[in-house]
Structure 1
Amino acid sequence: MKRIPLKMVRTNLLDIPQYPLPAGFRIRLFEKGDEHHWARVETSVDEFTSEKEALVHFNKEFGPYIDEMTKRCVFIENEQGQVIGTTTAWYGDLTGDEEIAGRIHWVGVVPAYQGKKLAKPLLSAAMNILADYHATAYLTSQTTSYQAINMYLNFGFKPFITGPSCQEAWSLLEEVLNRKIVGYL
């Protein structure tokens, strides 16, 4: 499938779908020193070619905001206490007008644990955090992450048109997901 970047928005943070974790897993917040867990998870899902590269990125993007991370970055641990998933209830400028919105950022579940009903509880937890700080939320993704896009649609995110490639992206996703994605034109 062609990889086209895209953006999605949720115009309110009311009525967030809630999904419990399967037995044996727990959600916890980031603690100072957890950078290596984040780097390992994000490297395992091919966001980076090495954990060292991931740590460099982490330190650049989040290093100055470690105290914020302890309130906004979520981990899933397995029964042995190993971190196997993460996302961050971050924030950013959705439209370029300097209005800050909540942002679902860096969602990842290590491949051995994908398909075990962990992504929805992880997203629920992050969305609940965002609702404490923001009225709206957005995320960025790409067409190749169509399974995640389907989940985001089910969580109330809608296409956010940012350029001419968006129509191609959403048409492609309608075909792959076999669902009508209303409101992108």
Structure 2
Amino acid sequence: MKRISLRMVREDLVDIPQYALPDGFRIRLFEKGDEHHWARVEASVDEFENQDSALEHFHKEFGPYINEMMNRCVFIENEHGEVIGTTTAWYGNLKDDGEVLGRIHWVGILPAYQGKKLSKPLLSAAMNILANYHSKAYLTSQTTSYQAVNMYLNYGFRPYITGPSCHEAWSLLEDTLERKIVE
């Protein structure tokens, strides 16, 4: 599938779907020193060339905001206390109008743990955090992450159309997911 970047927005943060983790897993918040866990997970899902480049990115994007990360970054641990997934309930601007929205940012689960019903509880936990700070949320993704996009649609996120490439992206996703997405 052609990789096309896309954005999605959720106009409110009420009635967030809730999912429990399977037995043996737990969710916890970021603690100082966890940046290595974040980098390992994100590098494992090919967001970065390697763990060192992921760690470098972490320090650049989140380094000045470690205290905020302790309230906004979520990890999933397995039964041995190993971090196997993460996402961040961050914030940013969807448009250039100055409005700050919540942002689901850097979702990742180690490949060996994908398909084990961990993504929905992770997303629910992050969205619950966002609801404490924001009234709306957005995220960025790409057409090649169509399974994640399908989950985001089921969580109430909708396409944010900004130009012709968006129409191509959503048309590809409608065909792949066999569902009507754009009204």
Normalising by the smaller structure, the TM-score range is over 0.9
Q: Answer whether contact 2:170 2:182 (CA < 8 A) is retained.
A: no
**Matched residue of 1:62: which SS?**
helix
State the partner residue of 1:106: 106
1:126 corresponds to which residue? 126
Q: What residue number does 1:137 align with? A: 137
- Post-superposition CA distance 1:115-164 (Å, at most 9, x none): 00000000000000000000000000000000000000000000001221
Distance (Å, rounded) in 1 between the aligned partners of 2:97 and 2:76: 34
* Match of residue 179 from structure 1: 179
Q: Equivalent residue for 1:93? A: 93
Aligned counterparts of 2:49 and 2:164: Cα–Cα separation in 1: 30
- Matched residues in 2 for 1:21 and 1:182: separation? 31
Mapped to 2, the partners of 1:99 and 1:164 lie a distance apart of 24
The Cα shift of 1:93 comes to: 0.5
TM-score for the superposition, normalised by structure 2: 0.99
Q: What is the CA–CA distance in structure 1 between the aligned matches of 2:135 and 2:13, rounded to whole Å? A: 6
Q: Secondary structure at the match of 1:103?
A: strand
Letter in 1 for 2:156: G
SS of residue paired to 1:8:
strand
Tell me how far apart the structure 1 counterparts of residues 176 and 50 of structure 2 sit (CA, whole Å): 31
- Residue number in structure 1 paired with 2:149: 149
% identical equivalent positions: 78
| Partners of 1:4 and 1:120 in 2: CA distance | 23
Whole-angstrom CA distance in 1 between matches of 2:120 and 2:70: 21
Question: Which whole-Å deviations, capped at 9, do the CAs of 1:54-92 have from their partners, x for residues lacking one?
Answer: 010000000000000000000000000000000000000
Task: Tell me the TM-score normalized by structure 1.
Answer: 0.98
Q: Check the 8 A contact 2:86/2:122 in 1, yes or no.
A: yes
In structure 1, the partner of 2:71 is: 71
- C-alpha distance in structure 2 between counterparts of 1:96 and 1:82, whole Å: 39
Task: Supply the RMSD in Å over aligned alpha carbons.
Answer: 0.5
SS in structure 2 of the partner of residue 174 of structure 1: helix
> Does structure 1 residue 161 correspond to structure 2 residue 139?
no
* Structure 1 consecutive aligned stretches of length 4 or more whose deviation exceeds 6 Å: none
The code of the aligned residue for 2:133 comes to Y
1:27 paired with 2:24, answer no
Instruction: Write the letter of the residue equivalent to 2:178.
Output: N
Residue ranges of structure 1 left out of the alignment (5+ in a row): none
Q: Which runs of 5+ in 2 are unaligned?
A: none
Indicate yes or no: 2:7 matched with 1:7.
Answer: yes
